[in-house]
Structure 1
Amino acid sequence: MAQGNRPYASLEIIPPLTGISKEQLINDIRPFTEFNPRYINVTCHRDEIEYVQQEDGTFSRRLVRRRVSETAVCGAIQSELKVDVVPHIICGGASAHQIEFQLQDFKFMGISNVLALRGDCLAGEKRFTPAPGGFSHADELVRAIRDFEKRNGCEGFFRIGVGGYPEKHFEAPNIETDIDNLKKKVDAGADYIIAQMFFDNKVFYSFVDKCREAGISVPIIPGIKPISTFRHLQLLPESFSIDIPRELTDEILSFRDDREAIYRIGQEWATAQCKDLLAHGVPAIHFYTMGKSANVIGILKECF
């Protein structure tokens, strides 16, 4: 973005479940590299808690890691594909000291771009609970990263991205308050914003206008996720608190038993979104791949 040559595509992947080999991971990602993505975001997932019944009938609590660590995934992508990586750093499940160790690893690996997020609640939690000695909000995390740079003599090493919500974060009482919270993250030292997925570009343009009015001047990157299954009509609004336009909903409902048609409709809708966004001068488009490649590759062929 700083070079400002032309808009580019970036991708977000989810670390695979444990048990997959490095070769399998790389083979899954390799088709994207034909389009020279500027970077690949790698999500971070909290360890899960599992309760195991003992012989005496009591239960013991233990942590379970179901996915390969993002640090391992970042290392594999760097070494095998030579593509820049942007790991997520989340408040959830980590103390300030643990996050500092993570930053030390990223600096050692030459990873200078990160995405700082609060993270989701654990399953069963009604409200986000920080780890003991951890952070409650993403602006605190951004400030901690900048403090790490100062204390380690590497000021300006990290380029920090944060999340933005065109339809507001589900916990915010209104969009204006949510944008006030977003500005706190930028004021703490964030360099750019990646928007949550949306399916109506007018919502994104309105969000950008509100951000600019609030004094947020950093680049804002739209996030795109093509619908690929009928279940997405329920799962995406439920999981991400977003709206799916009536026109798109009705079209998918009319083909509810035709999986190929729904896949095509979702790809065509996202392609139209991207062409319109590029025409409006966005600096980049970020794709939430959810581990799927065919539809995103189809969009990249048409738009980049």
Structure 2
Amino acid sequence: MTATSPAPDARIDDLMRDQPAFASLEFFPPRTAEGVANLKERIVRMRDSTKPMFMDVTWGAGGSTSDLTLDLVKFIRSTGVVANMHLTCTNMTPGKVDEALAAASACGIRNIVALRGDPPLGEDKWTATGGGFECALDLVRHIKREYPEMCVSVAGYPEGHPNAISELPSSQSAASLTEREKLRCSEAGGKVSVCFDADYDNELKYLKEKVDAGADFIITQMFFDPEVFGNFMSDCRAIGIKVPIVPGIMCINNFGGFFRMTGFCKTRVPPTLVAEMEKRKDDEHELKEYGVEFGAEMCMRLLALGAPCVHFYTLNLEKVVYGILDALGWTTELSAKMDLDNDAGTMQAKGSAWARVGDEVQSMFGSGVVKEVRQDGAACIEMRSWKLAFGQTPTAVLQAGMYKKV
């Protein structure tokens, strides 16, 4: 009896034509076995709660997690979600690339994110492995030649590729920049960085080469100004790039990690966003709440600009993603439910959405004290603002979300 190959995933570009607005999620391979087990549990939860069109798994700096990446995309497929596997040129000979593509194809993976990749750990300059591919364009051409049935996505850089971003000379004022350059201009640590128009235009031409070579859609690098995305999309269309452009959304989860990541990628952080994060940097819960508010407003603007979806760089975390999707109206009370699920065993309050026994709460029916918290999050509240005959105090049972800790 011969084994049959699994049915291949649908192509993401085909799915996008049938579903004009959707969410998708990106994860990275953890460093420990425990982290991998936790991520697999999270993938299943997020599949059930967000119903994503597809899930990405990154390849890892320097190709360091190639085997684990393949294991995770296989796991995603086993849960019934379309997997989009990252593949980079870093530390990859043509033979290794072919092995990875053959393994992916054999298990039904039909969607690949083709990237050049970052330099290996500890190296500042990117160099091709002996005989390997020089850039993402080479990789796209190879995949389309050897596996024409695969849907290939590539990276787009609304603010310019980090390698094309330059520090403004001290002799030049930011006021001298063009209006397009000012929108891509970033100020940090007393230094001004920008992708000059000529470099940006060259990046666009290279992106078009990748599309002309067969790339089926684009996923952008993170950005924090919707107008930057709007301009990028208009610029792409103006030079003949017609494929879907998916905005990558970096969730704001903590202060230090956010600025390390944006600094590494040379991403522009608008001054207003910096100021709001500074106010909340010592309160992680408050910062995440602001991350939800900011992320939801940005997603709404992006969808209004014509983005086909919102693609979350989750950082392997759930809370802020759930909050944004709740705010968009695509899900209902996922964030509050997550708090309840996490804390049902200890009854420890996390945030203002619910409380523990003995806490004072406020609801549309008045104030009261929590006497019991049930496993589903409903609370039995002794309503102090109500008085019945003979001094009796009534108890109300309110569902999660209908009361807040005072």
- TM-score range (shorter-chain normalised) is 0.7 to 0.9
- What is the rounded CA distance, in whole Å, between the counterparts of 2:236 and 2:55 in structure 1? 25
What residue number does 2:224 align with? 199
Higher relative contact order (CA 8 A, sep 6+): 1
What residue number does 1:166 align with? 158
Deviation at 1:295, TM superposition (A): 0.6
- What is the rounded CA distance, in whole Å, between the counterparts of 1:14 and 1:208 in structure 2? 27
Q: Which amino acid aligns with 2:60?
A: H
Deviations 1:129-161 (A, max 9, x none): 111111111000000101213xxxxx3x10000
Instruction: Give the alignment of 1:83-94 within 5 angstroms.
Output: 83-94=81-92
What residue number does 1:9 align with? 23
- Paired residue total: 281
What secondary structure is seen at the aligned counterpart in 1 of 2:34?
A: coil
Unaligned runs of 5+ in 2: 1-12, 166-198, 331-406
- What is the rounded CA distance, in whole Å, between the counterparts of 2:106 and 2:66 in structure 1? 23
Deviations 1:236-265 (A, max 9, x none): 321211111111111111222222211111
Deviation at 1:301, TM superposition (A): 2.1
* Contact 2:55-2:83 at 8 Å conserved across structures: yes
- What is the rounded CA distance, in whole Å, between the counterparts of 1:203 and 1:280 in structure 2? 11
Deviations 1:180-200 (A, max 9, x none): 111111111100000011110
Q: Which amino acid aligns with 1:263?
A: K
What secondary structure is seen at the aligned counterpart in 1 of 2:18?
A: coil
2:231 is aligned with 1:213:
no
- What is the rounded CA distance, in whole Å, between the counterparts of 2:258 and 2:271 in structure 1? 11
Instruction: Give the alignment of 1:1-304 within 5 angstroms.
Output: 1-2=13-14, 3-20=17-34, 23-33=37-47, 34-46=49-61, 69-79=68-78, 81-149=79-147, 155=148, 157-172=149-164, 174-303=199-328, 304=330
Q: Which amino acid aligns with 1:132?
A: G
Shifted more, 140-149 versus 273-282: the winner is 273-282
What secondary structure is seen at the aligned counterpart in 2 of 1:115?
A: strand
- What is the rounded CA distance, in whole Å, between the counterparts of 2:136 and 2:271 in structure 1? 33
After superposition, the Cα gap between the structure-2 partners of 1:243 and 1:113, relative to the gap in structure 1 and judged at 3 Å, is same
What secondary structure is seen at the aligned counterpart in 1 of 2:90?
A: coil
Deviations 1:211-249 (A, max 9, x none): 111211111000101212121452132121111111111
* Contact 1:9-1:37 at 8 Å conserved across structures: yes
Deviation at 1:47, TM superposition (A): 5.6
* Contact 2:62-2:117 at 8 Å conserved across structures: no
* Contact 2:141-2:214 at 8 Å conserved across structures: yes
- What is the rounded CA distance, in whole Å, between the counterparts of 2:246 and 2:259 in structure 1? 25
What secondary structure is seen at the aligned counterpart in 2 of 1:224?
A: strand
Q: Which amino acid aligns with 2:279?
A: S
* Contact 1:22-1:76 at 8 Å conserved across structures: no
Rg (Cα) greater in structure: 2
* Contact 1:227-1:266 at 8 Å conserved across structures: yes
* Contact 2:248-2:311 at 8 Å conserved across structures: yes
CA-based RMSD of the aligned residues comes to: 1.8
- TM-score normalised by length of structure 1: 0.87
- What is the rounded CA distance, in whole Å, between the counterparts of 1:24 and 1:17 in structure 2? 12
What secondary structure is seen at the aligned counterpart in 1 of 2:44?
A: helix
* Contact 1:16-1:67 at 8 Å conserved across structures: no
* Contact 1:226-1:269 at 8 Å conserved across structures: no
- What is the rounded CA distance, in whole Å, between the counterparts of 2:131 and 2:67 in structure 1? 25
Deviation at 1:282, TM superposition (A): 1.4
- TM-score normalised by length of structure 2: 0.66
